Amino acid sequence: MFISLEGIDGSGKSTQARLLAERLRDRGHEVVLTREPGGSDGAEAIRRLLVEGDPDRWSAETEILLFNAARRDHLERTIRPALERGAWVVTDRFADSTRVYQGATRGELRGLVDRLHELVIGREPDRTIVIDMDPAAALKRGLARGSGEDRFEEFGLGFQEKLRAGFLALARDFPERVRVVDGMADAEIVAARVAEAL
């Protein structure tokens, strides 16, 4: 089973991915807990190209290519082998992040995002949980954490609001696969909501 956690920056995806992996391991499953961009040696190298350094280094189109290159490597080296040996895969972000960050926020690039996904990736997770929360609260969590790594967090509240709308739209676009969970509660309560949704 292949599960992705999605949502805006600071919504609690990494926390929930970890808690879900623990819950599944407690039930005796082998679980591969992974993330994007990253999750394989090559994809982690591409992550550094994307999140470190001059934010204007890449054009919007090149950025989409890089996210897809990283995802292809992640799929080939980490996700597929794990699924083939019967493990569960829990990933903190997958292709929906590209749909939302690169596609939904820049409408004219949606076609490119969708065509590249079909060509290079060609599969979806079995289930996707969107952790939904108020962007102002999520931004506060991110700032409190003091993570300086994410150049994407620089865009601020207006951008996060667009992202939230993009993630909520996924549940309408992929009703069989995507469930939205309210992330505005203690982590353990949200974890129970995630388990219930799955």
Ligand X SMILES: Nc1ncnc2c1ncn2[C@@H]1O[C@H](COP(=O)(O)OP(=O)(O)OP(=O)(O)O)[C@@H](O)[C@H]1O
- Structure tokens that stand for 100 in this block: 């939302």
Cα–Cα distance for residue pair 157/145, rounded to 1 Å:
17
| Residue 101 contact among ligand X, ligand LXEULUCI, none, beta carbon within 5 to 8 Å by kind | ligand LXEULUCI
Task: Report in angstroms how near the CB of residue 69 gets to ligand X at its nearest.
Answer: 21
| Residue 186 contact among ligand X, ligand LXEULUCI, none, beta carbon within 5 to 8 Å by kind | ligand X
**First vs last C-alpha separation in the chain:** 11
Give 141's strand partners: none
- Structure tokens that stand for 14 in this block: 């990494």
Q: How far is CA 171 from CA 40, 41, 54, 165, 174, in A?
A: 28, 31, 33, 10, 5
- Measure the CA angle with vertex 5, ends 2 and 9; round to 5°: 155
Decide if residue 154 touches ligand X (CB under 6 A): no
| Ranges within 104-143 binding ligand X (CB under 6 A) | 141-142
Task: Report in angstroms how near the CB of residue 116 gets to ligand X at its nearest.
Answer: 22
Decide if residue 3 touches ligand X (CB under 6 A): no
Task: Report which DSSP code applies to 33.
Answer: E
Beta strands in the chain (DSSP E): 2-6, 31-35, 88-92, 127-132, 178-182
147 is in an annotated binding site: no
Residues 176-195 vs ligand X: string with x where CB under 6 A?
----------xx--x-----
Contact by Cβ (8 Å): 97, 6: yes
Q: Which is nearer to ligand LXEULUCI, 109 or 180 (CB)?
A: 109
Task: Report in angstroms how near the CB of residue 149 gets to ligand X at its nearest.
Answer: 8
Q: Which residues bind ligand LXEULUCI (CB under 6 A)?
A: 9, 36-37, 51, 67, 93, 97-98, 101-102, 150, 152
Decide if residue 42 touches ligand X (CB under 6 A): no
Neighbours of 56 (CB within 10 A): 7
Decide if residue 145 touches ligand X (CB under 6 A): yes
Binding site listing: 7-14
Which residues make up the interface to ligand X (CB under 6 A)? 7, 9-15, 92, 141-142, 145, 150, 186-187, 190
Binding site listing for ATP: 7-14
